[in-house]
């Protein structure tokens, strides 16, 4: 798997302050039990490559990779692991994801995981908060089980 040959999509530039906001949000979510954020570590060498998060009440998932680790196929793996945890460990019936309109690579990750497209609408992003247009996606536990029936 890999998207290295394709052009890098127009990326939101994330600053150190955004990283600090993410850590603060993660700590608050862990403290009040409203969700969790996990770091993704490459098995082969222990390298930190990115992170994922789930807000339990809304079923919203998020995922990101450090820039050197983008385009190598990890996105689908880390987002897929989070979806599995949301359904099999947390017991949610549905999860949601929201992408920036220009983020075709993230949309492809969601397509590959079986998410259904719900249209372009405003979404209130926790990081860099405020309403922005976003592509809405959802995946039900029933559909996920159908797709992953082994
Ligand atoms: C979005 C992100 C998680 C994707 O993970 P990734 O490992 O880089 O993505 P992949 O390399 O697996 O590529 C995913 C798919 O997108 C395709 N793709 C890559 N670049 C693309 C582009 N510019 N346009 C369209 N599709 C693209 C790949 O070909 C691949 O599909 P394929 O497996 O069918 O070939 C990662 O790039 C990232 O962290 N970006 C910054 C943070 C972010 O955007 N998070 C998501 C917020 S919603």
- Spatial separation of the C-alpha atoms in residues 37 and 92, rounded to whole Å: 16
Q: Which atom of ligand 1 is nearest to the CA of 78?
A: 3
What stretch of H or E contains 23?
helix 16-32
Place of tokens 């040959």: 5
Q: How many CA atoms lie within 13 A of 147 on its CB side?
A: 15
- 16-147 fold: Aminopeptidase (3.40.630)
Q: Per-residue pLDDT tens, the chain, 150 aa: give them.
A: 333 333 344 445 667 887 888 899 899 999 999 999 999 999 999 999 999 999 999 999 999 999 999 999 999 999 999 999 999 999 999 999 999 999 999 999 999 999 999 999 999 987 766 899 999 999 999 999 999 997
- Spatial separation of the C-alpha atoms in residues 79 and 42, rounded to whole Å: 14
User: Pocket of ligand 1, candidates 2, 97, 108, 134: which has the most ligand atoms within 8 Å of its Cβ, to mutate?
Assistant: 108
Helix, strand, coil in percent for the chain, rounding step 5 = 35, 30, 35
């Amino acid at each position: 798997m890999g998207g290295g040959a394709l052009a890098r999509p127009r990326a939101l530039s994330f600053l150190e302050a955004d990283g600090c906001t993410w850590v603060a949000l993660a700590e608050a979510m862990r403290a009040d039990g409203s969700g969790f954020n996990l770091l993704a570590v490459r098995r082969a060498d222990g390298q930190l490559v990115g992170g994922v998060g789930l807000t339990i009440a809304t079923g919203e998932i998020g995922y990101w990779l450090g820039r050197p680790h983008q385009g190598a196929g990890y996105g689908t793996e880390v987002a897929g692991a989070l979806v599995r945890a949301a359904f099999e460990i947390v017991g949610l019936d549905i999860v949601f994801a929201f992408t920036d309109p220009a983020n075709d690579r993230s949309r492809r990750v969601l397509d590959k995981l079986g998410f259904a497209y719900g249209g372009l609408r405003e979404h209130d992003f926790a990081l860099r908060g405020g309403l922005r247009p976003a592509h809405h996606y959802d995946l039900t536990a029933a559909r996920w089980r159908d797709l992953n029936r082994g």
